[in-house]
Structure 1
Amino acid sequence: MTKRHVSKRVEGLDFARALAMFGMLVVNFGVITGADGNGPTWLIWVQSLFQGRASAIFVILAGIGIALMTAKARTTESQILIKKNNRNLRKRSLFLFVLGMILYAVGWSGDILHYYGVYMLIASFFFVSSNKTIILLTSVVLVTAQTFQIIFNYMAGWDPEQFLLEYLDFWTVEGFLRNLFFNGYHPVLPWICFFFIGLILGRLDLTNDTVRKKLLIAGFSITVLTKIMSEILMNVTTKSVLDADSAWFLFETGPIPPNVFYIVSNTATALIVIVGSIYVTERFAENGLIRAMIHTGQLTLTHYVSHVFIGIGILIVLNRLEHQTIAFSLLFSCLFFVGSMLFSVLWRRKYNRGPIEIIMRKVTK
């Protein structure tokens, strides 16, 4: 692979972040309002399209962003730049970790930022490593995570009456570490794999049409093959070796648990979304809606925090936190996203970064 340093911003990545943000709103507001499964079959299917995928795209994009940010240090092998990037990454990781813990403390148990901070901390040790090293590390993490899911009790810590809603011992050392690394919403094992994959993708020339076509073909092919293999293995093993629950646990492509099939399948769909986003922004770069989406993607940290404080705050005022329909949660997600887009457009007229992004930059200098 040719070494390079990319200085020009790839706006398609911002567009993909906006799409991922919308997906997270759909998933999170669905959980918050108690709407999961409460609606017609086709709406349940629509909501399921975003389950686990939006967050995975976010983390892969984060890895790409880190690869682009550290490209000069990596290609020049300058120890001064490497140390500077290390320091910046670790400061940002601490900022995100603390911010995420604040969100968790005020009641947002679905937080991803504190996990995100740990991913970034780990990545700070490997951003100059070779692709082979990162691929090997990703494989080891993936196999280790799958092994742990088989050996240990994946339900440990979760309230059996409210699985994925309440983690009983989160604020203990054992419970916190178990949640962080093993069975939380976005556990380091194996979610760090998405970040590592992003580090590799960020080293590719995403402006090169040949590279993008290969990624797109790979994305579609792996998505289809993984789904076919998942179905075959579940059908075959339930007839001879495993019960239905065990087969689902091992071979389903959904996010709970995040097994090998989930990581591979969602990496593939992320490739489709990311490459597709780059194509869209290049072709319709001056379209007003596309520009608004790009600006929204540039402020995703701000929007993530606002969806907790403002979004949930509005739901509390409306008394809509329980027993809502999927139709309501989807409508609310769409309206909140439109509001976020409007704010982004207005804010970007004066500032290059969002409010929380500005704070993070100042704190982590």
Structure 2
Amino acid sequence: MKTKQRIIGYDFARAWAMFGMLIVNFTVITGAEGNGPAWLRAFTSLFEGRASALFVILAGIGITLMTKRAVASGDQLVIKASRQKIWKRSMFLLALGLLLYTLEWTGDILHYYGVYLFLAAFLIVVNSRWLVGLALGFLVVAQFLQLRYNAFEGWAGPVPFMNYADFWTIEGFARNLFFNGYHPLFPWFSFFLIGLWLGRMNLQEGRIRKRLLLISIAITTTVEVLSKVLIHISTPWIGTEASTFLFNTGPILPNVLYILSATGTAIAGLILCLYVTERWANSRMVTAIVHTGQLTLTHYVGHVVIGIGFLVLIGRLTNQSLAFALIYSVCFFAFSIVISVVWRKKFSRGPIEWVMRKVTE
């Protein structure tokens, strides 16, 4: 029973991560950023870079759980088969993400996922300490690259961070993937590595959960306070723009402080979701949200094709208010829940999840 609860806890967390992603993406795509009262701006900013971080961490956990039995067997042929399955899925996600990119969805995360999975296949047998060390290494390299090179190269106007001019060239694609895209390998693969590490922990044990929750809250609180202090102290010396660039905890640009803070909030949110599903496992609402989390790949594609497509149809794609973007996000999430509940009555997997498994088995 506990194993099941653990799994549905991850699905529950995945659904809420998707909700946060909807808020961020619909806010950006409708041009609603900053177009609302202060309290609403503060609320929507809570999800920026946090929902996606939780998504990536959950993906890392999923890979660890998927390969756990193969790794424990120590059989090199079984481990090789697991790697091949991961590589097939990585190619599927890469292709699907690039297909969405052709629809001018420049905020795609799936093609990055494909690369994360490809690299993760090599690491399924690596010692846990090495995973944490690699995560820190990717973070340090990312910070060096941001300080050494122009982090805004390739992005073209008139709307900031909406059009990557040379994405379909070798140089532009590599720059976007490794350095300054929405979820570049440096440092976003750090989240995935943390997920691989977390997947090896027994989160069914209350003591471990409590410790992780307290540590994650402490990390985020400390980093956020440190960020404010460093910005305040450094601004008179280097200016507001430079101090924000170096010490902000927002996702653009994803510096050391952002990764640490977002990791803390993601782990805290995950632990809380595990508690909720353990306490109210038989709740209809919890079950509905769990089903939604099990179909997140389908819903992700749906929010691009259907969600943004509908905005185009009704002429509400630009110059919208934050209130409209938030209401639209809530409505689309509710729509996703209803679709998930109906679908799961007849099918065990979402349509795109089913296709991926058929193609990659």
Q: Normalization by structure 1: what TM-score?
A: 0.96
Cα separation, 2, equivalents of 1:132 and 1:289: 38
1:118-157 matched pairs, under 5 angstroms: 118-157=115-154
Q: CA deviation at 1:41?
A: 1.0
Q: CA deviation at 1:73?
A: 1.7
Q: Which runs of 5+ in 2 are unaligned?
A: none
Cα separation, 1, equivalents of 2:12 and 2:5: 15
Deviations along 1:74-114, one digit per CA (max 9) or x if unpaired, are 22222122111100000000000000000000111110000
One-letter amino acid of the counterpart of residue 319, structure 2: H
Give 2:302's aligned residue. 306
1:215 aligns with 2:240: no
Q: CA deviation at 1:193?
A: 0.3
Cα separation, 2, equivalents of 1:234 and 1:35: 26
1:97 aligns with 2:94: yes
What is the aligned counterpart of 1:281 among 271, 277, 280? Answer: 277
1:294 aligns with 2:296: no
Give 2:202's aligned residue. 205
Q: CA deviation at 1:139?
A: 1.4
Give 1:194's aligned residue. 191
Deviations along 1:12-58, one digit per CA (max 9) or x if unpaired, are 11000000000010011111111111111111111111100000000
> CA, structure 1 residues 22+8, in 2 after alignment: closer, same or farther (shift >3 Å)?
closer
Give 1:3's aligned residue. none
Deviations along 1:194-236, one digit per CA (max 9) or x if unpaired, are 0000000000001110010011001110011001111121122
Cα separation, 1, equivalents of 2:239 and 2:78: 54
Give 1:24's aligned residue. 21
Give 2:49's aligned residue. 52
Deviations along 1:160-184, one digit per CA (max 9) or x if unpaired, are 5322111111111111110111000
Moved more, 88-97 or 168-177: 168-177
Q: CA deviation at 1:292?
A: 0.5
Deviations along 1:126-157, one digit per CA (max 9) or x if unpaired, are 01100111112111111101000000001100
Give 1:73's aligned residue. 70
1:15 aligns with 2:24: no
Give 1:37's aligned residue. 34
Give 2:79's aligned residue. 82
Moved more, 160-169 or 43-52: 160-169
Q: SS of 2:69's equivalent?
A: helix
One-letter amino acid of the counterpart of residue 218, structure 2: S
Q: SS of 2:122's equivalent?
A: coil
Give 1:180's aligned residue. 177
Q: Which runs of 5+ in 1 are unaligned?
A: 1-5
What is the aligned counterpart of 1:327 among 299, 323, 348? Answer: 323
One-letter amino acid of the counterpart of residue 205, structure 2: N
Identity of aligned residues (%): 52
One-letter amino acid of the counterpart of residue 213, structure 1: K
1:169 aligns with 2:166: yes
Cα separation, 2, equivalents of 1:267 and 1:9: 20
Whether the 8 Å CA contact 2:6–2:204 is kept in 1: the answer is: no
Structure 1 moving runs of 4+ over 3 Å: 6-9
Give 1:345's aligned residue. 341
Q: CA deviation at 1:243?
A: 2.1
Give 2:268's aligned residue. 272
Q: SS of 1:154's equivalent?
A: coil
Cα separation, 1, equivalents of 2:132 and 2:283: 38
Q: SS of 1:171's equivalent?
A: coil
Q: CA deviation at 1:8?
A: 7.3
1:245 aligns with 2:241: yes
Give 2:226's aligned residue. 229
Residue-pair matches, total: 359
Whether the 8 Å CA contact 2:5–2:274 is kept in 1: the answer is: no
Whether the 8 Å CA contact 2:88–2:360 is kept in 1: the answer is: yes
Cα separation, 1, equivalents of 2:227 and 2:157: 27
Q: SS of 1:107's equivalent?
A: coil
Whether the 8 Å CA contact 2:5–2:277 is kept in 1: the answer is: no
Q: CA deviation at 1:7?
A: 7.9
Q: Normalization by structure 2: what TM-score?
A: 0.97
